[in-house]
Amino acid sequence: MVRVVIVDDSAVCRSALRETLEAGGSIRVVGEASDGAEVLKVITREKPHLVTMDLQMPGTSGFEAIEEIMAKHPVPILVVTGQSRKSSAAAFEAIRRGALQLAEKPPPGQSAAGNELRAQVRMLAKVPVVRHVAGSRDKLAQRSPAVAPTHRTPTYVAPATTLPLVGVAASAGGPGAIATLLSQLPPSFQGCVAVVQHLPKGFAASFADFLGSRTRLRVKLVNDSAAREAGTVLVAPDDRHLVVSGKNLLRAVDSPPMGGFRPAANVLFQSMADILGAGGIGIVLSGMGTDGADGLERMRRQGSLTIAQDEATSAVYGMPRAAAERGAACLVLPLGKIAQAVVEGGSPKRLSGPSP
């Protein structure tokens, strides 16, 4: 039985969410809190497997509550919010501060939305989280040593191009990691970044807005097609794959989900390997599951630079672990060192990697 604490200043919303969560019989709401200050007491007393968090509360805000929880009583946090640009943009900031994922508040009487929320709660409740304070992951990222896998694959030689395509993929805990990576790329960066982030339907536009507020690069949501341009970040849209369809063109396509995901990291990475050969860079950041590992492996076989985030700086070490353990990543790096590797990898110089 999954034990959940609900945090929301509205008694009506708490009651509705409790009813939705407990409908399947595998989740029990063991406590409720109406503000951020109260939730710490409830967590200490009830020891839940997961906390659902509303962000708009009087007194201690949801942001402050998340930071306090992760510093004092770490537990997986799911932000439950609406799809307005304002509320969903706030949810991405909450993930940057320590929440794992976001979900849409299910409308009353819609069983499909309720089923999806319950499935997400059951999945996230199993994720191990660690104690940290705001900014601690970034500080740790700067100190952590790089680790190179030992699998026998060719040493990476960066392509002689001034406009590399950098594919970045993430899931749970990923929005903050992607924002950190993009914020560390210089405004003069001559590459183009393609982003695949697993999100509930309806949040892609707000995610692009969030990334745009965290980087000096230009951020665009790809609704149909977009050209590779220097200093541009191209974000996969809702419920569509992002693929490379030509040397300088990316498209949003409606092909079937892969591994249960659309957009999927494997679809982007495989298209990069097939179209660009060694002319791309692939990165897997924080997330659950194994999406991205197959595609990253195909990119590495083509001679591309491939990178996985390390365990110490990952909110969820699932996707990066899968890529690292199968030898798909040339490098396993702390989050704070990935941007430097990207900048160096995009220049025509040899990057140190594992021996062939």
Is 352 a catalytic site residue? no
C-alpha–C-alpha distance, residues 334 and 313, integer Å: 6
152: Cβ–Cβ under 8 A, 6 or more apart, which residues?
354, 355, 356
Is 9 a catalytic site residue? no
Enclosing H/E stretch for 310: none
Measured from the Cβ of residue 190, the count of other Cβ atoms closer than 10 Å reads 15
Helix (H, G, I), strand (E, B) or coil at 284: strand
Where do the H-state alpha helices sit in 73-183?
85-96, 111-124, 136-143, 174-183
Catalytic residue among 291, 294, 310, 314, which?
Answer: 291
C-alpha–C-alpha distance, residues 107 and 241, integer Å: 27
Q: Report which residue type is found at 203.
A: F
Catalytic residue among 8, 34, 49, 198, which?
Answer: 198
Estimate the crossing angle of helix 62-72 against helix 36-46, to 10 degrees: 30
Q: Is 155 left (phi over 0), alpha (psi -120 to 50) or beta?
A: beta
Strand bridging mode 305-309 / 165-170: unpaired
Is 188 a catalytic site residue? no
Instruction: Cite the active site residues.
Output: 171, 198, 291
